[in-house]
Structure 1
Amino acid sequence: MNATDPIRRSTDIHRLLDEAFAGVELTPETQDLKEEIRDNLLFRVAELEASGVEPSDAARRAIAELGDIRALVDGEAAAASPARPESASAAALRNQVRPKPGFVVRTVLISIVAAVALVLLVLGLVGVLSFGTGVLIGLSAVFGAGLGVVTADALRQETTTNHPLPTGRAVAFGASTGVLLAGLAFTGVVIVRLDLAWIILGALLVIAAIGVLSYLGATQTNRHKPWMVEQQRAMRTGNRFEEDPASAARFGIYTAATWTVAFVVAIVLGFTVGWLWAPVALVGGFVVMLIVLARMLFGADARSKG
């Protein structure tokens, strides 16, 4: 091998490599890849020549062994670019859990019973149907119990996004929901059919249910599945109640206290001024609850920014 062989070898490699990269956009990453390939080709050509292959043939053979240059460039770009996160819809589809047929049938049947009870209750209260007071109270109980059972049963089911709730907490949520709805329905029966003193019982049922629901909500831990937690982290905008459970507990206490006062004031207004004024207290309680919620969610941020 004479002294011109390395120069000739390098010239052949440069020419053939430039031809192979023709039409490929030379970004800094692509240029680095090209130089790395050039070094490897020079080493490979030297090996081939040492084995007896002619220099020009060795250069072409080394280039041919590379394969498709564009595929190499695309593969390098794909490796350099970060992987795109899985979309929420794709993740949900991959982790989809179909509801159990038995649960669907139970939910539909019990919901129909609760809806029928509510319709009959309303028709009885407005005088379209002639029901006794006991029947109306029974319809109130059926309405509340039905939706309470549906709530508890639903919370016990595994879903695409959530693990099933423990039986005890699911029953507590369902019972509280049922008592709340039954108490509201019973309040309607009291206003239309019973002595208004019975409204105290309805108010106590509603207040107790709200208190239990507030406690359950404040002490509820995460039941989301890991894939859902990852999606929430990617899209998180901040939730003070999740970041500060003590604030959630305080809000539950404030809510129970607000509605207790609202119901007491409503009863007092009903007996003193007239029952047409009683809803004013309930509206006031709702407004106070919204103000407290807004201050607890955004008040700290506003003070810190100020």
Structure 2
Amino acid sequence: MNTDLHRLLDEAFAGVEMTPDAQDLKEEIRANLIARVAELEASGRSSSEAAREAVAELGDVRDLLAEPDAATRAPGGDPFAAAQARHHVRPKPAYVVRTVIASVVAVAGLLLAALGATGVLPVPLGVTILFLGIGATGVAWIVGDALVQETTTNHPMSSLRAGGFFLATFLVIYGAGFAGLVALSALPVWGIVFAALGVVVGTVLYAWLGATQTNRRKAWVRELTRTMPPNRFEQEPETAARFGIYTAVIWVVTFAVIVVLVFTVGWWWAPLAFLGGFALMMLILARMMFAPSR
């Protein structure tokens, strides 16, 4: 048990009249902070550091106890908009600069790869693949860097999990690029194997990261949205786990079918297998998200 967390939470509520509503809010915040501390400890913080950081992110609990009428006096009368404006987090200048640089690198790399693949830019195949890797890295960097930033409504994602999204993005874009090179006859037919492998592994990694993602919303967002119906995957973790397993099986089978098609009837049938696997995954997702609860 993290005693620092409970002590800091008691200090945050010092001087607050503990009405039944305030007590309910305190216990809800306690549960949210326990989850947040677990995330911070998983990213390398000590127990005491994680507790202090989580409580600091909470802000002034009196804001969460403010009367709803005070929030509705904001422009538009929207309590959520008023709270969002009060807790607004501005992007860090260094993050903006990194994003601009990564965007330029991504566009330049993908453009040069496209020009090399179509023969407009007379460069060796290896250089074209290098350009593709640079472009894919730029896009993946934008995704990963964005996820580790704190936003108005969300705590920053851990570096390890953001790195997973970086890798998934890189694999999907690199795989799609290899498929384009095969389609343009710039790469032999066997290149479709690498294309399918990148897209399949990246998609499976995306599915796993999404299914295992914890709720990173801040306490004030949780308080304002506690009356909203929960996400099906958050309400039923076993449903999210089943979807992750189904997705992995679908893409493993799809990859196997693609390999068989490439070496039997021809690589031009491989995109049909990919589209079939993707359509099946989306149908299962729709079924699991919107099916009536038992």
Taking structure 1 as the reference length, the TM-score comes to 0.66
Which residue pairs with 1:267 in the alignment? 259
Aligned match for 2:142, one of 147, 150, 158 = 150
Letter of the 2:209 counterpart: L
User: For 1:217-228, what aligned pairs fall within 5 Å after superposition?
Assistant: 217-228=210-221
Look up the SS of the partner of 1:254 in the other structure: helix
The offset of 1:118, in angstroms, is: 1.1
Look up the SS of the partner of 1:165 in the other structure: coil
Structure 2: 5+ residue stretches without partners: 1-66, 72-78
Which residue pairs with 2:165 in the alignment? 173
- Looking at structure 2, the residues matched to 273 and 152 of structure 1 have their Cα atoms a distance apart, in angstroms, of 39
Which residue pairs with 1:196 in the alignment? 189
Structure 1: 5+ residue stretches without partners: 1-81
- For the structure 1 residues 90 and 281, does the alpha-carbon distance in structure 2 shift closer, same or farther, using more than 3 Å as the test? same
Q: Which has the higher helix share?
A: 1
- Looking at structure 1, the residues matched to 193 and 68 of structure 2 have their Cα atoms a distance apart, in angstroms, of 61
Aligned length: 220
State the structure with more CA Rg. Answer: 1
User: For 1:53-92, what aligned pairs fall within 5 Å after superposition?
Assistant: 83-84=68-69, 86=71, 87-92=79-84
- Looking at structure 2, the residues matched to 249 and 144 of structure 1 have their Cα atoms a distance apart, in angstroms, of 29
- Aligned 8 A contact 1:211 1:253 in 2: no
- Looking at structure 2, the residues matched to 182 and 130 of structure 1 have their Cα atoms a distance apart, in angstroms, of 21
User: For 1:288-303, what aligned pairs fall within 5 Å after superposition?
Assistant: 288-301=280-293
Which residue pairs with 1:256 in the alignment? 248
Which residue pairs with 1:244 in the alignment? 236
- Looking at structure 2, the residues matched to 249 and 143 of structure 1 have their Cα atoms a distance apart, in angstroms, of 33
- Aligned 8 A contact 2:110 2:136 in 1: no
- Looking at structure 2, the residues matched to 264 and 131 of structure 1 have their Cα atoms a distance apart, in angstroms, of 33
1:162 has 2:148 as partner? no
- Looking at structure 2, the residues matched to 295 and 211 of structure 1 have their Cα atoms a distance apart, in angstroms, of 19
The offset of 1:85, in angstroms, is: 7.7
- For the structure 1 residues 290 and 211, does the alpha-carbon distance in structure 2 shift closer, same or farther, using more than 3 Å as the test? closer
The offset of 1:83, in angstroms, is: 4.2
- Aligned 8 A contact 1:133 1:189 in 2: no
- Looking at structure 2, the residues matched to 296 and 261 of structure 1 have their Cα atoms a distance apart, in angstroms, of 20
Letter of the 1:255 counterpart: T
Letter of the 1:102 counterpart: A
Which residue pairs with 1:207 in the alignment? 200
Which residue pairs with 2:74 in the alignment? none
Letter of the 1:150 counterpart: I
1:140 has 2:132 as partner? yes
- Looking at structure 1, the residues matched to 70 and 246 of structure 2 have their Cα atoms a distance apart, in angstroms, of 41
- Aligned 8 A contact 2:140 2:169 in 1: yes
Letter of the 1:201 counterpart: F
Taking structure 2 as the reference length, the TM-score comes to 0.69
Look up the SS of the partner of 2:194 in the other structure: helix
Query: What are the Cα deviations for residues 249-280 of structure 1, in whole angstroms up to 9, with x where unaligned?
Result: 22122122222322332333333333333221
Look up the SS of the partner of 2:122 in the other structure: coil
Which residue pairs with 1:115 in the alignment? 107
Query: What are the Cα deviations for residues 44-72 of structure 1, in whole angstroms up to 9, with x where unaligned?
Result: xxxxxxxxxxxxxxxxxxxxxxxxxxxxx
The offset of 1:245, in angstroms, is: 1.5
Query: What are the Cα deviations for residues 15-60 of structure 1, in whole angstroms up to 9, with x where unaligned?
Result: xxxxxxxxxxxxxxxxxxxxxxxxxxxxxxxxxxxxxxxxxxxxxx
- Aligned 8 A contact 1:214 1:253 in 2: no
Which residue pairs with 1:40 in the alignment? none
The offset of 1:131, in angstroms, is: 2.2
- Looking at structure 1, the residues matched to 248 and 225 of structure 2 have their Cα atoms a distance apart, in angstroms, of 30
- Looking at structure 2, the residues matched to 199 and 277 of structure 1 have their Cα atoms a distance apart, in angstroms, of 11
Letter of the 2:82 counterpart: A
Which residue pairs with 2:76 in the alignment? none
Which residue pairs with 1:61 in the alignment? none
- For the structure 1 residues 247 and 85, does the alpha-carbon distance in structure 2 shift closer, same or farther, using more than 3 Å as the test? farther
Identity of aligned residues (%): 46
- Aligned 8 A contact 1:145 1:179 in 2: no
Look up the SS of the partner of 2:157 in the other structure: coil
